[in-house]
């Protein structure tokens, strides 16, 4: 199986022979007082990618340099026949990706030896360049080896603004008050017979939902002194 690696939309000249993708598990294990062990399942962590890139310092027939590089890269050819891009250009790209403090697009294309494409990673996957090294080894001639670690980028979702939250709570409370008020009104009796210990304010609070309505009820029933009601007296409530 052959790979093509794209960093920020730019294909690498030689794909790595091996790519490691690690998906971190964030589950938590707890021990209860009775000795039982439980597992709390949490969403998976960020995916990590590890691989080594070969960056040629000389032209090879197996290295790929797409034509569109000629529009924005210096020294695009060596003899006018085949594309070749200096290793320094890729090193400058890696430095930009590391220092920009921004995520970039990462894509892996997989294909069989007969060039039939297999599955890709998510086309819109964003990553950050966590770490890379530049290795020069005489055993490899002039070519550079670049071990690289990438990490999936997941944007931070801002919390709801406090003012919106307060408004929501206020609206909920108002709705609850209206519901309670409607419930009181729907169950309101037309009259009430005074019992021992009753007060006009208490009767209005219980059956009308508002104790401050007692002057209105007193007037309706011809009660001159709202503080004086007698046991057995029938009070009209509306």
For the residues 222-235, what does the mean pLDDT come to?
84
- Whether residue 87 sits in one domain with residue 193: no
In a shared domain, residues 231 and 143: no
pLDDT at 149: 93
CATH number at residue 11: 2.40.30
What's the token pair of residue 205?
Answer: 């609070």
Q: Tell me, what's the pLDDT at 160?
A: 43
**pLDDT over 80 (residue 67):** no
- Whether residue 106 lies inside any domain: the answer is yes
User: Does residue 65 lie within any of the structural domains?
Assistant: yes
Tens of pLDDT, residue by residue over 4-38, are 888 888 888 888 888 888 887 777 777 766 777 87
Kindly indicate the confidence band of residue 148, based on its pLDDT and cuts at 50, 70 and 90. Answer: very high
Contacts of 218 (CB under 8 A, 6+ apart): 200, 224, 226
Q: Across the chain, how many H-helices and E-strands are there? A: 4, 12
Does residue 130 share a domain with residue 54? Answer: yes
**pLDDT, the chain, mean:** 75
Digit-coded pLDDT (tens) for 82-97:
578 888 888 988 999 9
User: Is residue 175 situated within a structural domain?
Assistant: no
Question: How many distinct structural domains can be found in the chain?
Answer: 2
- For residue range 188-211, list pLDDT tens digits in order: 788 888 888 888 888 888 888 887
Same domain, 35 and 124: yes
Question: Is the domain of 115 the same as that of 213?
Answer: no
Q: Where are the beta strands (DSSP E) in the chain?
A: 2-7, 10-11, 19-23, 28-31, 37-40, 47-55, 104-111, 126-132, 135-136, 144-152, 191-193, 234-236
CATH code of the domain containing 232: 3.10.350.10
Comparing 154 with 176, the larger pLDDT belongs to 154
Q: Is 46 left (phi over 0), alpha (psi -120 to 50) or beta?
A: beta
Domain, as residue range, for 221: 187-238
């Amino acid at each position: 199986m052959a790979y093509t690696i794209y960093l920020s939309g730019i294909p690498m000249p030689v794909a790595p022979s091996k790519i490691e993708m690690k998906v971190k598990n964030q589950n938590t294990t707890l021990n209860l007082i009775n000795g039982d062990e439980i597992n709390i399942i949490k969403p998976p962590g960020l995916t990590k990618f590890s691989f080594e890139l070969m960056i040629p310092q000389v032209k090879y027939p197996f290295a790929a340099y797409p034509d569109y590089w000629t529009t924005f890269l210096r020294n695009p050819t060596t003899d006018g026949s085949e594309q070749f891009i200096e290793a320094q250009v890729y090193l400058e790209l890696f430095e930009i990706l590391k220092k920009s403090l921004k995520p970039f697009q990462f894509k892996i294309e997989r294909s069989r030896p007969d060039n039939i494409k297999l599955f890709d990673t998510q086309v819109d996957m964003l990553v950050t360049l966590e770490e890379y090294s530049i290795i020069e080894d005489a055993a490899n001639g002039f070519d550079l080896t670049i071990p690289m670690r990438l990490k999936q980028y997941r944007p931070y979702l801002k919390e709801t603004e406090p003012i919106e939250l307060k408004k929501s709570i206020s609206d909920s409370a108002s709705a609850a008050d209206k519901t309670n008020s409607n419930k009181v009104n729907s169950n309101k009796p037309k009259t009430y017979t005074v019992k021992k210990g009753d007060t006009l304010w208490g009767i209005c609070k219980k059956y009308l939902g508002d104790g401050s309505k007692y002057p209105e009820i007193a007037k309706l029933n011809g009660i001159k002194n709202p503080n004086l009601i007698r046991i057995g007296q029938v009070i009209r409530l509306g």
